[in-house]
Amino acid sequence: MIRLIALLLTLPIITSCKQETQVQSTGLVYCSNGSPTSFNPQLAQTGDSLDISSQLYNTLVRLDPSTQTIAAGLASEWHVSRDGLSYQFELRQDIQFHSTPYFTPTRTMNADDVVFSFQRVLFPTHPFHSVSGGLYPFFNNTQFSRLIKSIKKIGPYKVEFELYRPDTSLLANLATEFAVVLSAEYAQQLQHSGKFNQIDHLPVGTGPYKFKQFLPDNLIRFERHWGYWEGGAPMQQLVFDITPSPTKRLAKLITGECDVMAYPAASQANVISNHPDLLMNVQTGYKVSFWSFNSDRPPFDNPKVRKALATAIDRDTILKAVYFNTGVAAHGLLPPTSWAYNPYLSDYAYSPKQARQLLQESGVKLPLSLTIYTPSGSEPYNPNSFKTAEFIQRDLRKIGVNAEIIVQEPHLLQHSIIMGKYDTLVSGWSAVTSDPDNFFRPQFSCNAIENHTNTSRWCSTELDGLINRAVKLNRMVPRIRIYREIQSHLRDELPLLPIAHSLQLQAYRRDVHSLNSSPFGGVNFAGAYRN
């Protein structure tokens, strides 16, 4: 008896000293932040995390991680017609779909699969269109159906997209994790058995890992897909440990229960970088936080007032206190890593004195009072919007402007934005594609006011003209020229004050290698391994 107790007591010490076991060395655990609503990224909300997408699926084209330009994916090459109205994709012929207990593919991927995947999204008459709700938020937001006229198979491995008007941001849209290719053969089988819904819950894709098990709010288990066209993944198993709390995610990372952690909080960056077993990836995300002025409401229609308020804000303090230095100062809407970024623009320097002077020159009735609306929680582009608003309030007091902060829950705030009830708003934008159009169109085009993404309610024919002209151009140099013009136009008009680009953080254990994370927050385990 005593011997047994002694054994039980020493057990944890023995086992904690144990070496890494077979199972652990052939698998990785990723602490993700939430259960996916479905296993089909086409249906995902644009704000959802899309961690599953690049494990299970591939897209026609992808973003080259180092240059942020479009590179080949499932399509080995593509041709754009002279008028910019037709895109032809040449597909690779060696792409195998996942073979799972619920589906065994009999052929490799071909043009039928691509046509099926996109027609499902585009055409309401498609048998699969209304399955799982029939809402495709990403494709709606980017107005896919108003852009694409038809998708045709023009050879066994050749597909053509026909457009209503030229739009060069199409490729960037096709490179996002939403635009995945599903198996038409699987869909056909499901259609025969009448189990349409299954296509979005038991996924079949072409990605490096295949689906094995899902326990809601608990875990997702993936298995290696040996037939992956870029070569089988080094790890046999991949498990997503669904852990909504960032504190708990970090705890699990420290104890080694997780190997990679999703979305470390800005306040955790210090702990992670000081821990001997942990590493952190940092890259500038395609995210920006800003302070919008409601240009519908006087006196914020006056550019002098906007400039005065902008000069009054000490953004460095916000970077330190709110972002804990996990952000970089934003000199414009585009992050410096974007190919269209304009490096020649000067920024508004912090100067309360100049701000006061500008405010007096503007002829506005003093003392000025205004409201600052802000969401209550943390956003992908801003770790703490409320605290940001408080700093703005404090800075405004220095120039004699009295600001009232109004905190609202997301759906209430949405309503306020639709009604345009605010003077100013602490807000931001997470881009879903690398194309600069994805920053300017939602923020500043007249149409975007009704989509309530245009938080400064900005509508100018000049800017709209520039935005539309830029996407019609095929060649890079003239496009860059126009985007630079847009940026300097915005700098002069200042419908909103950019605050910071948050850095995309990724924390992982030191023994994990070749992890590939995208600037949009996703993570790709295709080549990741443990050593």
Cα distance between residue 26 and residue 22, in whole Å: 7
Token readout for 223 is 């298995």
Cα distance between residue 479 and residue 436, in whole Å: 10
The least distance separating another protein from the CB of residue 222, rounded to whole angstroms, comes to 11
The least distance separating another protein from the CB of residue 210, rounded to whole angstroms, comes to 14
Cα distance between residue 175 and residue 241, in whole Å: 27
Three-class SS state of 279 = strand
Three-class SS state of 498 = strand
The least distance separating another protein from the CB of residue 214, rounded to whole angstroms, comes to 12
Cα distance between residue 151 and residue 157, in whole Å: 13
Cα distance between residue 73 and residue 61, in whole Å: 4
Cα distance between residue 237 and residue 16, in whole Å: 23
Q: Which is nearer to another protein, 211 or 290 (CB)?
A: 211
Burial of 502: CB neighbours in 10 Å, binned 0-12, 13-18, 19+:
buried
Cα distance between residue 44 and residue 524, in whole Å: 18
CA distances to 121, 173, 182, 183 from 110, rounded to whole Å, are 18, 21, 11, 9
The least distance separating another protein from the CB of residue 280, rounded to whole angstroms, comes to 18
The least distance separating another protein from the CB of residue 72, rounded to whole angstroms, comes to 33
For 167, how many CA atoms within 13 A lie in the half-sphere containing its CB?
26
DSSP state of 21: P
Q: Which is nearer to another protein, 239 or 471 (CB)?
A: 239
**Is residue 309 within 8 Å of 369, Cβ to Cβ?**
no
**Is residue 281 within 8 Å of 511, Cβ to Cβ?**
no
The least distance separating another protein from the CB of residue 284, rounded to whole angstroms, comes to 31
The least distance separating another protein from the CB of residue 212, rounded to whole angstroms, comes to 8
DSSP string, 432-453: SSSSTHHHHHHHH-GGGGTTT-
Cα distance between residue 447 and residue 424, in whole Å: 20
Q: Which is nearer to another protein, 4 or 349 (CB)?
A: 4
Cα distance between residue 205 and residue 228, in whole Å: 10
The number of beta carbons lying within 10 Å of the beta carbon of residue 465 is 11
Q: Which is nearer to another protein, 5 or 349 (CB)?
A: 5
The helix or strand, by DSSP H or E, that contains position 455, with its residue range, turns out to be: none
The least distance separating another protein from the CB of residue 294, rounded to whole angstroms, comes to 34
The least distance separating another protein from the CB of residue 218, rounded to whole angstroms, comes to 6
Q: Which is nearer to another protein, 11 or 282 (CB)?
A: 11
Q: Which is nearer to another protein, 29 or 199 (CB)?
A: 29
The least distance separating another protein from the CB of residue 271, rounded to whole angstroms, comes to 11
The residue behind tokens 């007032």 is 305
The least distance separating another protein from the CB of residue 19, rounded to whole angstroms, comes to 11
Cα distance between residue 149 and residue 120, in whole Å: 14
What does the binding site for another protein look like in residue numbers (CB under 8 A)? 5, 11-13, 15-16, 21-24, 27, 29, 212-213, 215-219, 221, 237, 239, 241, 243, 248, 251-252, 254-257
Q: Who contacts 130 (Cβ-Cβ below 8 Å, separation ≥6)?
A: 124
| CA 196, 201, 206, 210 torsion-angle sign | negative
Q: Which is nearer to another protein, 258 or 497 (CB)?
A: 258
The least distance separating another protein from the CB of residue 505, rounded to whole angstroms, comes to 20
Q: Closest Cα partner for 428 from 325, 346, 301, 333? A: 333
